[in-house]
A and B are shown apart, each in its own frame.
Chain A
Amino acid sequence: MNKHIITFLLLVFPSIMWAQDIRLIEQKGVKLEITNVQIGLGFKAYSHLKVGAEFSLGLANLNQDFIYDDYMLQLKLYYSALKTNRSNIYGGLISGIEFVNDPTFNLTTPYAGLFLGYEYYFGKKRKSGLSLEIGYVYGSKTYHKSYEANWGSIEYIGIFENNPLLLGIGYSYYF
């Protein structure tokens, strides 16, 4: 698990910070997003070439017990199809890692997918944005459990699959 986190942070944060330093970033901000499985806080940045990235982490409800006791690290890559000073229609790739905490198993699952979104900018300087996103993500992992007793042993191979539908609403503040 630590290997994945370190890889993620080493690759993503420097690229975003480096991009800022050389003034490629025309818009950057923080985003609070609530999806059907996650409550996350992220950092996002757009370049002047209509591409952007968002890194977020959050609490998640991944095993359908309605308890936000799981964790997610997530990266989105954006492409703005139609962006004005009022709105942004975009799509892109989404990927991340889920840390599933279930009473009967714990596992780390990668996931990836596609998403589409719409963001409306408001406020005097258009520094706030409300976004709606919909997407499809795929993540699956097998896990192995066993039990031994004096009568013998039993083994079970389970498969965890995350919810493929992504529905999210987010608030962004740009600075």
Chain B
Amino acid sequence: MNKLILSVAIAAMLMLNLCSCEKDELEYSINNISVVVEEGENWIHDFPLFLGIDLKNPPQFAIWIEDTAGNYISTLFVTKRIATEGWRSNGGNRRKEALPHWCHQRGVIYDDGLYLPTKNQPLTDGISGATPKSGIELKLQPADYLRQFVIKAEFNHSIDFNDSFPENATEGDFNYSGGNMGSGQPALVYSALINLESEINEYTLNLIGHSSPDGSNGDIYNDLSGITTADKIVKQIILRRN
């Protein structure tokens, strides 16, 4: 009898798993474009929780497109913490220094005067999702009129301090990055000009600079001399035409 009970229970467990295995296929059709972010050696960053326990944090990032004149068109993907104000252990810091170039290019000002989506007004243009533990792949299908555009990506870790962007920097100094729950090393911005009229089928996004360390503006700074580890968050970002 016990064997019978055990058999029924094991069958139930197997059915639980077999019934639920629905796989989605990532398929590409002609003229689709894939955007692939390959994680670098610093993709995962230690974020201290309590009692010496560290959380393995992936970065916050946004990928978006602009026209060739630098006007924002749309977000393709942004991590959910910044898209939904889903920060934790941030001590009330809205993290405007996380992805300031994306925020300012997008140009949406919220009730508190910041360019950051809120819990009540989360991002609605583009896709937001949990930060993957490794790289991601997106499938992009531009409309027929969009033959030339710029694709940009911005990456940032919180509390990624170094000697150039220390935790104890004073507010108002250039290297102030939001205090003890701030960024440390500022967000890095990658970019590529895409021309679908050309015969080039693969583009690599180039590192073009870092964002405002304290998030006070949307400028890009070309001097990367203070960056020690943030440039290894991503290995490469590639756009391919299929």
A24 touches B13 (CB 8 A): no
A7 touches B136 (CB 8 A): no
Closest Cβ neighbor of B23 among chain A residues: A142
Q: State which residues 1-56 of B face A: CB under 8 Å.
A: 1-2, 5-6, 8-13, 15-17, 19-24, 26
The interface residues of chain B lying within 8 Å CB-to-CB of A66 are: 88
The interface residues of chain A lying within 8 Å CB-to-CB of B6 are: 51, 77
Chain B binding surface SS class: mixed
A92 to chain B, nearest CB (A): 10
* Contacting residue for A63 out of B76, B128, B130, B138, CB 8 A: B130
Tell me which of A82-90, A107-115, A120-128, A167-175 binds B. A107-115
* Count of CB-CB pairs between chains A and B under 8 Å: 141
State whether A65 and B88 are in contact (beta carbons under 8 Å apart), knowing that A152-B140, A158-B129, A160-B130 are contacts in the complex: yes
> Which 10 A/B pairs are nearest by Cβ-Cβ distance?
A11-B12, A95-B13, A152-B142, A110-B20, A155-B139, A110-B17, A144-B24, A15-B8, A152-B143, A103-B84
Task: Report Cα–Cα, A96/B24, bound state, in Å.
Answer: 21
The interface residues of chain A lying within 8 Å CB-to-CB of B17 are: 95, 110-112
A159 contacts the other chain (CB 8 A): yes
Interface size on B, residues (CB 8 A): 48
B2 touches A49 (CB 8 A): yes
Q: State which residues 72-117 of B face A: CB under 8 Å.
A: 73-74, 76-77, 80, 83-84, 86, 88
State whether A147 and B143 are in contact (beta carbons under 8 Å apart), knowing that A24-B1, A104-B80, A154-B76 are contacts in the complex: no
The interface residues of chain B lying within 8 Å CB-to-CB of A153 are: 140-141
B19 touches A7 (CB 8 A): yes
Task: Report Cα–Cα, A146/B125, bound state, in Å.
Answer: 11
The interface residues of chain A lying within 8 Å CB-to-CB of B74 are: 149, 151, 154
A154 touches B140 (CB 8 A): yes
A163 to chain B, nearest CB (A): 11
Task: Report Cα–Cα, A66/B47, bound state, in Å.
Answer: 15
Q: What are 20 A-B residue pairs whose CB atoms fall within 8 Å in the complex?
A: A12-B9, A15-B12, A19-B5, A24-B1, A47-B5, A51-B2, A53-B9, A77-B10, A95-B13, A104-B128, A104-B129, A112-B16, A143-B24, A144-B24, A152-B143, A153-B140, A156-B77, A156-B138, A157-B26, A158-B136
